[in-house]
Amino acid sequence: MWFLDILRCPDCGHDVGGAQEALRCSGCQRSFPLRHGQLDLRASPSGSATVTLRAAPSTAVWPPESAPPDGAYRGPLRERTNARHLSILATREGRLDVLDWGCGSAQYRPLVQDELGHRYLGIDIAGDDADVLADAHRLPFQSAAFDHAITNAVLAHLTNPFLAVAELARVLKPGGVFSGSAAFLEPYCPSWRTYFHPSPDGIVHLLTTAGLRVDGLWAQEGWTVFDSLAAIPGPISGPTRWVLRRLSVLERAVGRRRLHPRNIARGGWLRAKQPEEIRRELLAITGQVDFLASKPG
C-alpha cells in the first residue's frame, strides 16, 4: 500500500503509522483496522469539524470559454467513468498520485493505473471496492498529499459540500488538479440520498471558496435535463421518458441557431450562435456540470 506514509487521523489530525495490520494514531492512539485489504479510516461518529465561509455573497465568475481536452485519452471506458476527465488526466506529465474522491465501485482504477500509468487511491464512505473507507468531510490524509483528484457526481451526496471541498483542496499539492462532474438538473432519487445539486454558479462558488482556481466549466456531453429525467429512476412514466429522449435530440440539433421569435425583429433569425453563447445555454439545461480546477502553486 503506497499511501501508508500520507495517512493522518481523521479525528485529531496526528500521523497514523505502524504495520498494516496495526495502524495507530500517534496522538489519540486510536487504531484503524485493515480488513480484506481495505483500511477503515472513517471519522468517529461523535467527531465534528468547522469551515470558515465569507458572510457576504460572492459573484461567481466563470472561467473564460475554452474547449475541454476531449480526445487526449483514447483508451477503454467503464461504467460511470468519464472520457473528458480521463483526457484531462492524460494531458498531465509524469507519474501522479491520483485520488478518486467517492470512488464507488472503483471503475477508474484500471484506467488510471493500467492505461495511464499513475498511482491510484479510491476512497468512499462505504462499500467493498474502496482502498480506504473515509468521510469526505474529514479526509484521513496529510496536507498536500495528491497531485490529482477525480470525481464523478459526488457533490450531490455530501451533507456539507463546503467542508468537503475545503478538505479536498487541503490534500491537493500546490499545482494539483481537481476535475469531475456534479449533478445539476437531475431529478431527486430517494434511494441515492442526494442533498445538493449545485448550479454552475454554485460549483464556481464552492471551488473558489476552498481556495481553488476554476479553469474550465462545461455542460456534460449528451446529458441535458431531458436525458437525466428520462434515464434516472423515478415516477416519470415510460411514454414521457420516450418523449424526453427525443426532446433532448431536438434541443441539441436546433439550439445552435437563433430560432426564438424575438430574433426576427433583431435580424438574427436562423443565425448561428457564438460558442460562448452556446456554452452558457447548454450549462443552463445540463443534467451534470463538468469542471476543472487547480490549486495555486
Write the pLDDT tens digit of every residue in 164-197: 999 999 999 999 999 999 999 999 887 778 999 9
Total count of domains within the chain:
3
The whole domain housing 256 covers: 234-274
**To the nearest whole percent, how much of the chain has pLDDT over 70?**
99
For 119-186, give the DSSP string.
EEEEEESS-SS-SEE-BTTB--B-TT-EEEEEEES-GGG-S-HHHHHHHHHHHEEEEEEEEEEEE-S-
Is 243 within a domain?
yes
Mutual angle of helices 200-209 and 161-171, in 10-degree steps:
50
Question: Is residue 68 one of the residues assigned to a domain?
Answer: no
Confidence of residue 50 (pLDDT cuts 50, 70, 90): confident
Is there a domain that residue 27 lies in?
yes
142 and 212 in a single domain? The answer is yes
Looking at the predicted structure, is the pLDDT value of residue 267 above 90? Answer: no
The CA distance from 192 to 97, in Å, is: 29
Residues 132, 173 within the same domain: yes
Do the domain assignments include residue 45? Answer: no
The amino acid at residue 12 is: C
90 with 213, same domain: the answer is yes
Do both 24 and 98 map to the same domain? no
Q: Are 147 and 254 members of one domain?
A: no
The arithmetic mean of pLDDT across residues 1-30, rounded, is 91
Statement to judge: residues 238 and 270 lie in one domain: yes
Q: What is the pTM of this model?
A: 0.92
Over residues 127-156, the mean pLDDT reads 96
Rg over alpha carbons for the chain, rounded to the nearest Å, is 21
Domain identity same for 97 and 189:
yes
Longest dimension (CA), the chain: 74
Share of the chain above pLDDT 90, in %: 73
289 with 142, same domain? Answer: yes
Q: Are residues 108 and 151 in the same domain?
A: yes
Residues 123 and 259 in one domain: no
The answer as to whether 32 is a domain residue is yes
- Asked if residue 290 lies in contact with residue 217, where contact means CB atoms within 8 angstroms, the answer is yes
